[in-house]
Amino acid sequence: MRVLVVNAGSSSLKLSVLDGDDTVAQSDADDLATFVARTSGIDAVGHRVVHGGTEFREPVVIDDVVVRAIAALTPLAPIHQPRAVRYIDDARTLLPDAIHVACFDTAFHATIPAAAHTYALPKEWRTRWPVRRFGFHGLAHAYAARAAAEHLGRAVDDLDLVTCHLGAGASLCAVHRGRSVDTTMGMTPLEGLVMATRAGSVDPGLVLWVQQHGGLRLGHVEHALEEASGLTGLAETGDMRAILHRRAAGDDDATLAFDVYIHRLRREIGAMAASLDRVDALVFSGGVGEHAPEVRDAAARRFDAPVLVVEAREDLEIARAVARIVA
């Protein structure tokens, strides 16, 4: 069965066609119609959707009701959700006879227990609004855990793993016997690790302070936390390769950026380990996780666990989920 995987990011579109584990075609061009016209024999389409809220805890066959429900979650993912809906609509028009399946980045974390996903906030807030930790990168974490188990020659439900998806966005996951039990991102992707442009976790009082005493408007603060913080705020670049090069040359800002990144990464790995019975392996994926051995070495140095590197393959995870549903 040939599955078209549509992975719509905040400003990018990755397309791939898979037949089993084999990649038939790939494209990063933002032109779904042309890609579909060039590719024959598509039986099903898997769509990556960033946010499933509390409603979507597993992949689901798409119909008009599902599309409306995905669109209704736009306040929780205002950049990603509308693009997902756009490409779902386009793909259903281009391939009306194919089965379309939505695969949610939050779904893998639906198994996180209440103690880990509940914020200690007023009950009125928690009952009125969806203020809870959802977690993201679930497709990447699920694939990394499964691939690590295959590499170790063990069943994933016999392992405790800390999966580290480190790219422009970055998060960790504590995977207990194949199920997510904790993760570093929260209600939004701003929580957790230092990232390319995102600050990660900061004191909420700091955010209030810069608005009350610094006179910064909400939009300015939002832009700063999303686009101008993290490695970019520390070293004026979110590119870890550039930071490593400048650090090797003695650049102070790059050295500080690396040290802050590693400190937070080590601390959060320790937090994920505390949610597990043991740590059978640390699993790294994503652009930084796969291609920056200096980061892996520095992060893993204090943990007595094997270190594995797994290529991030959200497309395979999506295609396999689609195949299960179709079957």
Q: Mark out the alpha helices in the chain (DSSP H runs).
A: 32-38, 64-72, 80-94, 114-117, 123-128, 138-152, 204-212, 218-227, 230-235, 240-248, 252-274, 286-291, 293-300, 314-326
Check 21, 30, 43, 105 and give the catalytic one.
105
DSSP 39: -
Segment (H or E) for 165: strand 160-166
**Is 50:79 a contact under the CB 8 Å cutoff?**
no
SS3 state of residue 10 = coil
**Is 312:40 a contact under the CB 8 Å cutoff?**
no
**Is 134:187 a contact under the CB 8 Å cutoff?**
yes
Distance CA 319, CA 176 (A): 23
Distance CA 134, CA 112 (A): 9
**What is the edge-to-edge ordering of all strands in the sheet holding 13-19?**
22-27, 13-19, 2-8, 44-49, 99-104, 60-61
Cα 104-109-110 angle, rounded to 5 deg: 85
Distance CA 164, CA 150 (A): 17
Scan for tokens 């051995």, then name that residue.
293
DSSP 196: S
Tell me if residue 19 is catalytic.
no
Q: Which residues are catalytic?
A: 105
